[in-house]
Amino acid sequence: MTLKVLIVDDETLARSRLRTLLGECTDPRVDVVGEAGNAVQAMEQIQRGNIDLVLLDIHMPGVDGMALAATLRQMTAPPTVVFVTAYAEHAVQAFELEAADYLTKPVRRERLQQALQKVEKLRAPKDGIDSTAMPECLIIQERGRSERVALQDVVYLKAELKYITVRTREKEHIYDGALSDLESRYAHMFVRIHRNALVSRRAVRAVEKHNDPTEGEGWTVRLDGVEERLAVSRRQLAAVRESLMG
């Protein structure tokens, strides 16, 4: 494996030193594919893809390294982050953001080598799964454009007239298809809660009683990432409760 690395630091000398140290590391092999002096420049390069590892400073003008790392976590297949900073006090926050490692300046070659080896292990294919494979997704056609929406980001799928509302934490999409087809193809990811709705199994947080003034007592499901509650039919109640145990 050759790790494709982006160096992000607002100091030119710091970027140059890291590049030199990376050139001295032999296991794993690395390829420095770019440098950035701020978060905006970094994000532009990351969005073009082909980056495995971001060596990321924390204190930079504008958006800092912590905020950039938090943004990267929202990506479907983000690069791995290793923080490289002069400040030791941010280590706990860094690991809360799932950074692979936290290096303090001045960085020693041996310590950088250890971090690279850790990243290599994290990114290695596991159990015969190809780590470069695209996640399962829906292709959404909206306003004359096509957009790929990863199913792991979908909170629920709800049939509305002739279309399906695809709800992620950030927005809604309209998908032209049949709910029954999606249920049969992605039963490992979604559970039916009603004749018109499927929800992500891993998004289910609670099943709660609900009293409607017109329909009387019923059940709703509380989902991670959205405020609205969806109705659960009595027929599907056991299956939804079961998904809480998964």
Strands 29-36 and 163-168: unpaired
The pLDDT value given to residue 211: 78
The pLDDT value given to residue 144: 66
Q: Measure the CA–CA gap between 50 and 15, rounded to whole angstroms.
A: 19
Q: Measure the CA–CA gap between 108 and 105, rounded to whole angstroms.
A: 8
The pLDDT value given to residue 133: 47
The pLDDT value given to residue 166: 96
> Domain spans of the chain?
2-123, 139-245
The pLDDT value given to residue 42: 96
Helix-then-strand count for the chain, H and E: 7, 15
Superfamily of domain 2-123: Response regulator (3.40.50.2300)
Q: Measure the CA–CA gap between 42 and 58, rounded to whole angstroms.
A: 13
Q: Residue holding tokens 């509650």?
A: 229
Same topology, domains 2-123 and 139-245? Answer is: no
Per-residue pLDDT of the chain (246 residues; tens, 9 = 90+): 689 999 999 999 999 999 999 999 988 889 999 999 999 999 999 998 889 999 999 999 999 999 999 999 888 889 999 999 998 888 878 877 888 899 999 999 999 999 999 999 888 764 433 444 446 788 888 776 778 888 999 999 999 888 999 999 999 999 988 899 899 888 889 999 999 999 999 899 999 988 776 667 889 999 998 999 999 998 998 888 877 765
H or E element, residue 13: helix 12-24
Q: Which CATH number fits domain 139-245: 2.40.50.1020, 3.30.420.240, 1.10.150.120, 2.160.10.10?
A: 2.40.50.1020
Using CB atoms within 10 Å of the CB of residue 46, give its burial: 0 to 12 exposed, 13 to 18 middle, 19+ buried: buried
Long-range CB contacts (< 8 A, 24+ apart) of 40-46?
41/8, 42/6, 42/8, 42/68, 43/68, 43/71, 45/6, 46/6, 46/72, 46/79
Contact in structure between 164 and 182 (CB atoms under 8 Å)? yes
The pLDDT value given to residue 130: 43
Q: Measure the CA–CA gap between 231 and 209, rounded to whole angstroms.
A: 10
Distances (CA, A) of 173 to 147, 190, 207, 209: 10, 17, 25, 29
Using CB atoms within 10 Å of the CB of residue 232, give its burial: 0 to 12 exposed, 13 to 18 middle, 19+ buried: buried
Q: Measure the CA–CA gap between 99 and 81, rounded to whole angstroms.
A: 5
Q: Measure the CA–CA gap between 112 and 13, rounded to whole angstroms.
A: 17
- pTM of the entire predicted model: 0.53
CB count within 10 Å of CB 63 equals: 15
The pLDDT value given to residue 23: 94
